[in-house]
A and B are shown apart, each in its own frame.
Chain A
Amino acid sequence: MVDECALTFETGRDKRLLVLPAWFDEANKLRRTTVEVMHRLDLSGIDSFLPDLPGCNESLQPLETQTLASWRTAAKVAADHFQATHILAVRAGALLDPGTLPGWRYAPSGGRQVLRAMIRARTIAAKEAGREETTASLQERGRAEGIELAGWNLGSALFADIEQAAPPNDTPLADITQADIGGGALWLRAEPDEDPEQADALAAIVAIGMNAQ
């Protein structure tokens, strides 16, 4: 196991939240809101931890060699390492739910949805550049040899894993929908944006839940 970086609000408190972040482009668009939620939780007496997924952000590992299993292992190892008592999974982060801790998943999404938008971005960009790439041919290539989508080099194993992955039905995590939070979904925003009210709402749900226990 190689060490990974994590952004932490850590003062040794009893209530300890592991955040499983959104993936790829959505990770960028939701990073600020995610950290803003952690900052609010810190003020509510909760430690929180946002690890880099292997192959992403500051990770020294190559993304191409990751698999869904290696990411799930990383999530479990992070939960143990930080002695997490709760989990907040964001979007596709729900696919890494270890199933052993209580908590929440915010607008969970399946792997198919993750790939659909990234593949479509590539076909649109290709069309603009006068090249023809089809969804079917990109999917085939992804499964066979891996593929670069929106700047991320996905290996064939991770691509095939993600295509099949859906958030588990049987989970100790409670769902938080965008309607619960209010406002427009920030992962859809063409330019990364922030919304303090959304961070307030998400942090309030988590803080009330954790402090009630």
Chain B
Amino acid sequence: MSAEAAPKAEAPAGLAPSRTAIDDQLRAILCDVLGLDRERVEDFDNDTGLFGHLPELDSMAVAGLLTEMEDRLDIIIEDDDVDGEMLETYGGLLAFAEAKVVES
């Protein structure tokens, strides 16, 4: 059910998915949620603002984003994980996703 050509965050057995794979997955999900071209999302850097900066990213959209991250990255996101810092910038969200993937 993932988007076309979305690379899977999978790595050879025994190895954690690479940071690049997680980064690719996260950008693919943001493409779907924000309805942006891949090129636009490729330009996101660590400081690109998300929640609170993009008006279309309301609580329902963020909920969809986190739920899709759970499914595609095979992680579980708890209530306490969700805070302003992790949602504020692309870098914050990526760091969160990386930490969760390592943990799972």
> Which of A50-58, A114-122, A155-163 lies at the binding interface?
A114-122
Contact A117 B59 (CB under 8 A): no
Contact B66 A120 (CB under 8 A): yes
A-contacting residues, B68-95, CB 8 Å: 68, 79, 82-83
Task: Give, as a whole number of angstroms, the nearest-CB distance from A153 to chain B.
Answer: 16
> Knowing A120-B66, A184-B31 touch, does A135 contact B79 (C-beta < 8 A)?
yes
- Tell me if B16 is interfacial: C-beta within 8 Å of chain A: no
Contact A185 B62 (CB under 8 A): no
- Tell me if A6 is interfacial: C-beta within 8 Å of chain B: no
Complex alpha-carbon distance, A203 and B32, angstroms: 21
> Knowing A183-B3, A189-B35 touch, does A150 contact B79 (C-beta < 8 A)?
no
Q: How large is the interface on A (under 10, 10 to 19, 20 to 34, 35 or more residues)?
A: 20 to 34
| CB-contact partner of A189 in B32, B67, B82, under 8 A | B32
| CB-CB nearest in chain B for A125 | B59
| CB-CB nearest in chain B for A118 | B63
Chain A contacts for B61, CB-based, 8 A = 190
> Knowing A185-B32, A188-B33 touch, does A123 contact B79 (C-beta < 8 A)?
yes
Q: Would you call the interface of chain A mostly helix, strand, loop, or mixed?
A: helix
Contact B63 A121 (CB under 8 A): yes
Chain B contacts for A191, CB-based, 8 A = 35, 56
Binary CB contact string for chain A from 145 to 189 against chain B (1 if under 8 A, 0 otherwise) = 000001000000000000000000000000001110011110111
* Interface size in chain B (residues, C-beta < 8 A): 27
Binary CB contact string for chain A from 38 to 70 against chain B (1 if under 8 A, 0 otherwise) = 000000000000000000000000000000000
Contact A116 B67 (CB under 8 A): yes
Contact A124 B1 (CB under 8 A): no
- Tell me if B46 is interfacial: C-beta within 8 Å of chain A: no
Complex alpha-carbon distance, A120 and B82, angstroms: 10
Contact A178 B63 (CB under 8 A): no
- List of 10 A-B pairs having minimum Cβ-Cβ separation, nearest first: A190-B61, A184-B32, A121-B63, A120-B63, A190-B56, A125-B59, A124-B59, A121-B60, A188-B32, A117-B67
